[in-house]
Amino acid sequence: MRVAFQGEFGAYSEEAIIMHFGEKAQPVPRPYLKDVFDAVENGEADLGLVPAENSLEGSIVRTFDLLLERSLKVQGETVLRVTHCLIANKGVTLGDVKRVYSHHQALGQCRAYLDGRSLEAVSWYDTAGSVKMIRDEGLRDAAAIASTRAAEVYDMAVLARGLESDNENYTRFFVIGDEDIGPTGNDKSTIAYIVDHRPGTLLESLRAFASRSLNLKKIESRPIPGRPWEYTFFIDIEAHRDEPLMQEALEELRESTNFIKILGSYPRVQ
């Protein structure tokens, strides 16, 4: 099974693929999130795995934008405990490091560590990619934030571990593909919708679920391009789209919205 992910070998996404799928998976690296969607749509990969949310830094907005734009569906989720390491070329010491490269999400998760040591944070396209770059460039005054797996893949030294600002640092990933997944009895649905622009419509939309005791796990908004101060709402509901109560709720939801897209119904892990 070919599973596309954003980043280089050694990225947290590759680690999540191995954890979720086991040895049957063949990770397929791609530079950007858009490329992961392209790989699945073009048949270069059977599935994709993309980050959806971090417990410290919040949602990965680009993932939700792509789910809204593209036809691929969320088919599953997995959660990875993320432990960040400071990684450098062998022989480099902590005192030598002036700049730290990594993905902006990882830099944000380690902000307290970086600020406390007056280290310059430099955004890079990928955690493992930053390790690879530092190795290839032979940098002696820079380090990267990435996983121990990345250090092993690129034969680099780990200078420090546990850089994240909080020990409860987890990233939730979506498995994406072109098929709908049937109910399992322990499911979640992720939905995007736009309410009518009149008073009370957001409350009406949420009442459709609350009145049926359907548990809302998450709600957040994203600006609609070209329509200032109007928003798309993204919600997670603990139910499958095919469950009778969920069907009723969706029917009622349509009365207070002018756009609905079910991004996927899938087995939940949290």
Please identify every residue annotated as catalytic: 171, 173
Q: Give the whole-angstrom CA distance, residue 89 versus residue 9.
A: 17
Q: Give the whole-angstrom CA distance, residue 209 versus residue 237.
A: 8
* For residue 267, pLDDT beyond 80: yes
Mean pLDDT of the chain: 95
Residues 28, 37: contact at Cβ < 8 Å?
A: no
Q: What confidence tens digit (pLDDT) does each residue in 59-83 have?
A: 999 999 999 999 999 999 999 999 9
Amino acid at 241: R
Q: Give the whole-angstrom CA distance, residue 165 versus residue 168.
A: 9
* For residue 270, pLDDT beyond 80: no
For residue 167, the SS3 value is coil
Question: Measured between alpha carbons, how far is residue 163 from residues 30, 115, 169, 270 in Å?
Answer: 26, 11, 10, 25
What is the reported pLDDT for 200? Answer: 86
What is the reported pLDDT for 198? Answer: 82
Q: What confidence tens digit (pLDDT) does each residue in 81-112 have?
A: 999 999 999 999 999 999 999 999 999 999 99
Strand partners of residue 192: 234, 261
CA 32 to chain centre: 12
Residue 33: enclosing H or E segment and its boundaries? helix 33-41
Q: Give the whole-angstrom CA distance, residue 194 versus residue 258.
A: 6
Contacts of 39 (CB under 8 A, 6+ apart): 4, 28, 30, 45, 48
For residue 205, the SS3 value is helix
Q: What confidence tens digit (pLDDT) does each residue in 136-190 have?
A: 999 999 999 999 999 999 999 999 999 999 989 999 999 999 999 999 999 999 9
Strand partners of residue 88: 157
Sorted by where each starts, the structural domains of the chain and their CATH numbers stand as 2-81+169-177 (3.40.190.10), 85-161 (3.40.190.10), 187-267 (3.30.70.260)
Q: Which is nearest to 157 in space by CA: 131, 133, 136, 120?
A: 131
